[in-house]
Amino acid sequence: MKYCPKCSAALVHKRIDGRERLCCSDTACGYVFWNNPVPVVAIVAETADGIVLAHPKLAPAGIFSVITGFLESGETPEHAAIRELKEELGLDAEAVAFIGVYAFEKANQVVMAYHIKTSGDIKLNEELDEYRVVAHEQLYRWTETGKFEVGEWLKRLNVFE
Ligand SMILES: [Zn+2]
């Protein structure tokens, strides 16, 4: 980002609250790009056979992870998780449990993770092209998920012991 979205003047670096920020060069405008993290929901979707990990079309080959998605305005995180589950995997939510909140600094996101017991048949949407259903006891060896919420949830199942 090079120009102010409010007044189109050039953006400059300024130190505010102890951090470098991109700010409008026109002090009368006063725009500051705070770059606050974006909230995201992550879903550990459980079927009768195990946890569903999916491969997004745009991701590198062989990378599978839990489903994630952005919230719509006016939507609770739990409803977003249930909606994403239906949209991306075609599954219905039968029981929903909150896992935790995680800072995903690399992507500038805050991840709110849910464990959802599901029903129905998996039907991938157009963003996904492949999936695996992994049993709990296999999942902890599945390093490619790269997802902290899976690790946290598995810890509670005590599969590491
Ligand atoms: Zn401006």
The tens-digit pLDDT sequence of the chain (161 residues) is 899 999 999 999 999 999 999 999 999 999 999 999 999 999 989 999 998 989 889 988 877 888 889 999 999 999 999 999 999 999 999 999 998 888 888 889 898 989 999 999 999 999 999 999 988 777 766 555 555 556 666 666 544 43
Alpha carbon of 23 to ligand 1 centroid (Å): 8
With 0-12 / 13-18 / 19 or more C-beta atoms within 10 angstroms meaning exposed / middle / buried, residue 51 is: buried
CA-to-CA separations, 11 to 4, 5, 37, in angstroms, rounded? 6, 9, 20
Q: What are phi and psi of 75, to 5 degrees?
A: -110, 140
Rounded to an integer, what distance in angstroms lies between the CA atom of residue 98 and that of residue 121? 23
The pLDDT assigned to 21 comes to 95
The pLDDT assigned to 154 comes to 63
Classify domain 38-157 at the CATH superfamily level.
Nucleoside Triphosphate Pyrophosphohydrolase (3.90.79.10)
The pLDDT assigned to 160 comes to 42
Give strand pairing partners of 22. Answer: 13, 33
The pLDDT assigned to 100 comes to 85
Contacts of 105 (CB under 8 A, 6+ apart): none
The pLDDT assigned to 9 comes to 97
The pLDDT assigned to 1 comes to 87
The pLDDT assigned to 159 comes to 44
Alpha carbon of 128 to ligand 1 centroid (Å): 39
CA-to-CA separations, 143 to 63, 64, 96, 146, in angstroms, rounded? 10, 10, 25, 6
The pLDDT assigned to 148 comes to 58
CA-to-CA separations, 161 to 21, 23, 30, in angstroms, rounded? 45, 50, 55
Around ion ligand 1, residues with a beta carbon closer than 5 Å are 4, 6-7, 9, 24, 26, 29, 31
Alpha carbon of 33 to ligand 1 centroid (Å): 10
Tokens of 150: 């899976």
Rounded to an integer, what distance in angstroms lies between the CA atom of residue 66 and that of residue 124? 13
